[in-house]
Amino acid sequence: MENLLGLLRIHVKRGVNLAIRDISSSDPYVVVHSGKQKLKTRVIKHSVNPEWNDDLTLSVTDPNLPIKLTVYDKDLFSADDKMGEAEFNIATYLEAIKFRHKLEGGLPNGTIIMKIQPSRQNCLSEESHIVWNQGKLVQNMFLRLQHVECGEVELQLEWIDVPGSRGI
């Protein structure tokens, strides 16, 4: 892939207090979009607090392209119901990744490198941390779903260098 910077592994951990779209629960799954790429988690039946723990991997060519996340309720006999959406940017995370070589070997696991505050410009429901963990920089985040009455999704981002790519 031309202009590839690297890969972004999105670990979709769980949903919290998602909207009810069936009689008493929902069958949620997550779709992640970035540019022309579209990936999705598995469906978790009968849960408004699903534990997906699914890894989705995007090819990153533009660090400024937003990543869109949409939660749906799987329906058998009709179109799937939308359960909210959120968007996040990876530019700040990629800035931290550029400096990781300076961190190697000198930091204990769990060291917070950078904090990102919730604001009107992002969908964070709480402060997001970029953390040094087992020789890697990861970003943990809770996203508040928009256009819905309730719900959050917890993610963890991890950068994967690809040999031969342009790098960041």
Q: State the residue range of the domain holding 136.
A: 6-160
> Measured between alpha carbons, how far is 149 from 151 in angstroms, rounded to an integer?
7
Adjacency order of strands within the sheet including 6-16: 51-60, 6-16, 152-160, 136-144, 128-133, 111-116
Residue 92 included in any domain? yes
Q: How confident is the model at residue 164 (pLDDT cuts 50, 70, 90)?
A: confident
Domain tally, the chain: 1
Tens digit of pLDDT for each residue in 60-118?
A: 999 999 999 999 999 989 999 999 999 999 999 999 888 776 766 677 888 899 999 99
51: domain CATH number is 2.60.40.150
The pair of three-digit structure tokens given for residue 133, joined into one six-digit string: 């963990």
pTM greater than 0.85: yes
Residue 30 included in any domain? yes
